[in-house]
Amino acid sequence: MGNLAIIPARSGSKGLKDKNIKLLSGKPLLAYTIEASRESGLFDEIMVSTDSQEYADIAKQWGANVPFLRSNELSNDTASSWDVVKEVIERYRILGTEFDTVALLQPTSPLRTSNDIVEGYKVLKENAANFVVGVCEMDHSPLWANTLPEDLSMENFIRPEVVKMPRQSIPTYYRINGALYIVKVDHLIRTPDIYGDRSFASVMNKENSIDIDDQMDFTIAEVLISERSRK
């Protein structure tokens, strides 16, 4: 029993080729998440779930375990992350190992720090939570956003009460950042809605919440990592 970190790293990324092992400031992308997991000191097991032996070998070089490869059924881009997590839990059970909690840590969040993970587990403990998810403040309030009709008319684009609202009165909105998910294993297995009973947010700063999806994200991450190394 204990804490398991799962780093999902499927091969064959369409948007950015081999994104999860692409070198970011000299290190494979997934290495940043492995290092943050290790530095947190929280995990009894840090594993990378991948369908690629090449990815598995790289993950092992950076200190993660890959006791098995992901099944073919969950190796496509339509597979749910939580189905992947459940598969990993079941495979470990077959091997005779069970865990109390699982942290799902996407490798596409390389600026997430070990302290972010520690703070997430602190939220879990202090709130007797079943589920903790990383969030960050939104860059722009969704109150100033809307869909557009075919003729691009801006009529009624913003609700009248919002237009008249002082900037200081606009509430702060947060978004799920994809960098941190922590769940108690029994909660994950027994409920179809992990966002329900006793789920809480762990607030991260926007810089640490960068999620790499394309080359522009990658370039921004390189700049921020370079600035960190200079400091």
- Residue 4 pLDDT more than 90? yes
The answer to whether residues 90 and 65 touch, using CB atoms and an 8 Å cutoff, is no
Give the amino acid at 91. R
Number of Cβ within a 10 Å radius of residue 67: 13
pLDDT of residue 68: 94
Query: What value does the mean pLDDT take over residues 18-22?
Result: 94
pLDDT of residue 220: 94
Number of Cβ within a 10 Å radius of residue 25: 15
145/86 Cα distance (integer angstroms): 36
HSE of 129, CA atoms in CB hemisphere, 13 A: 23
Q: pLDDT digit string (tens) for 70-109?
A: 988 877 777 788 999 999 999 999 999 999 999 999 999 9
Q: DSSP per residue over 63-132, as a string? A: T-B-SSPPPGGG-STT--HHHHHHHHHHHHHHTT---SEEEE--TT-TT--HHHHHHHHHHHHHTT-SEE
- Split at pLDDT 50, 70, 90, the class of 15 is confident
pLDDT of residue 162: 87
Lowest-confidence range among 3-17, 34-48, 173-187, 196-210? Answer: 3-17
pLDDT of residue 90: 95
Query: In whole numbers, what is the pLDDT of the chain averaged over residues?
Result: 93
Greater model confidence, 15 or 230: 230
- Split at pLDDT 50, 70, 90, the class of 161 is confident
The answer to whether residues 4 and 47 touch, using CB atoms and an 8 Å cutoff, is yes
pLDDT of residue 1: 72
- Number of domains forming the structure of the chain: 1
The answer to whether residues 182 and 121 touch, using CB atoms and an 8 Å cutoff, is yes
pLDDT of residue 115: 98
Q: Residue 42: give the domain boundaries.
A: 3-230
Number of Cβ within a 10 Å radius of residue 74: 19
* Residue 84 Cα to chain centre, angstroms: 14
Query: What value does the mean pLDDT take over residues 12-25?
Result: 87
8 DSSP β-pair partners? 49
Residue 148, domain CATH = 3.90.550.10
